[in-house]
Structure 1
């Protein structure tokens, strides 16, 4: 095993460790803020909105710093900042101190992800191998999330301030693990050539924008399905689908990379993924009218289609964002990709909440149309972007 492969494995396990901290934190944060810190829900909402806005604005500049200086150092700096902010939560007294800590913790996340991708792509030159590396990272991430969520459930069962503070300390340590491994990793290949601005690359923006719409699949599972099944189906059903999704990603994300071996195949995979997610939405829309026993079966089938759509969307978005980026500005380009996905994630819960509340089953049909249209647009947009990369004829 070569040095680079060894460090890719170490980065994968470090990502898993930080994801375990994330899973732990995301399981307990709502109750910690309200029950231990005593913060009003309005303050929590303001802090999250502010952090999200700053994070979107910071993604591309942080990615550009990874191009200009060293992706390892940018990843380490953003991770260290997030770890220190996490450690400061028990010290934050008052609403504004809490808002500041939350912004410092959440805002660098998108830029840190862009720097991590820039580091990995700087260590690996082949796009196919890059996608495989990202797939293994995602598997480690899901395993870490699951482990952290399990520990978080124990913290919630104890429901004691000491347990919450211990969980915060553990999360801060998980960030330190990733920081140390990132700093010790080999120096990635530095981009050559004049830096290009991804914000002026309209073909690239169109492709990542269309594929980012497919990331609504995550809000569909976390928001749409629980809201819908709670009306007439067992409350535990949405939890079953989350488990199916997590296990499916852990088992199938790496094999799914074979669906996106070229940009054209990735574009077709995105189109098929959009169709699969649309079909899942149609099944969910019909689940109420078929009766309770059959409705459970229909929802499970929709969950399997959702898993297929998610796996395909993820590998397609990776391949397209890597193959179509300018190599000399890979950090900035990945920052744009992260920002596009984060934007969709910000509006996703509201999209499903408002749609299902106002339109009932029609909300699922609206979501199906969005998934279908976004996926269908990717092949043509990809061909346009590829043409823009070709040298002009003499």
Structure 2
């Protein structure tokens, strides 16, 4: 039954017409047989009651036996059915076949597609196209459902981008108040006490140094805002590269970060290396964020390992620190990434993981974090490669 239901449109049309013509042929034969039998019965009746004289010789034409009006009608009906009967039965049969074909193969998918078009026109993508046949219209419905899914996904991404942008601006406005307020306070103090030499040179230098640190915080805020603003709209640019090339570039930045934090960064050996296509910018961005986070919370050592398996590239960064807090989860948006930590602001752990998660998803992969059994935390970033 499923095989018949999933027949192509062309084969279904041929099948419906063939069945209708076959049924029409059977009806034609049955009707002609019935009319011929009626003629025979009427002829025998007229011979038996003497209406027709029969001398034992077969006349050249059967209608010589028929004299009554009823018999003549039956004979003419028999001739009509013989000549036009198949046409009379086949035309309605084909019409019925076309109607059944439309009802069984065309009507439901057309209704589904029309309803889907109206929903999309009303900007409503929260629906599904339910048509299980695998004929041409079934394939069209499946493609339409795929298009709806893509539109829904793009709308969700666009909505997340808009919301992330709003949250980013709110987070920046919130976190930038502290350094601005500090700078304003120092400026007011210097304007009030510096002309009268009420401030010592040491105190003045201390305030100026603290002011420079607050300016650096503002610069970091602005740089983070710049990165996040362009991250959602950026697409992966596939370029030829290899594990060795990526590792060489990451080693340079990891070495600088390791010296800054006073900890060791170890790269585990790569056992399989081959050329592939990937967006090195995304991979390096993720690697730098994960290594920076690991160095921040490590006791002494951080290990980095690349794993290339088919069309998937994995980057694992582990540290020997206390691991991730209980119940920790990756931030889903900039608000969670900022975490409301006024002291550390956008330099908090969540920002690096948020940026890394977006980069992984843009590259067809994902980011996961876990605590190791031997202690410390590990972040695993995967990327789709070609």
Greater strand share, structure number? 2
Please indicate, yes or no, whether the TM-score normalized by the shorter chain is above 0.5: no
TM-score (normalised: structure 1): 0.20
TM-score (normalised: structure 2): 0.20
User: Whose radius of gyration is greater, 1 or 2?
Assistant: 2
Greater helix share, structure number? 1
The higher-RCO structure (CA 8 Å, 6+ apart) is 1
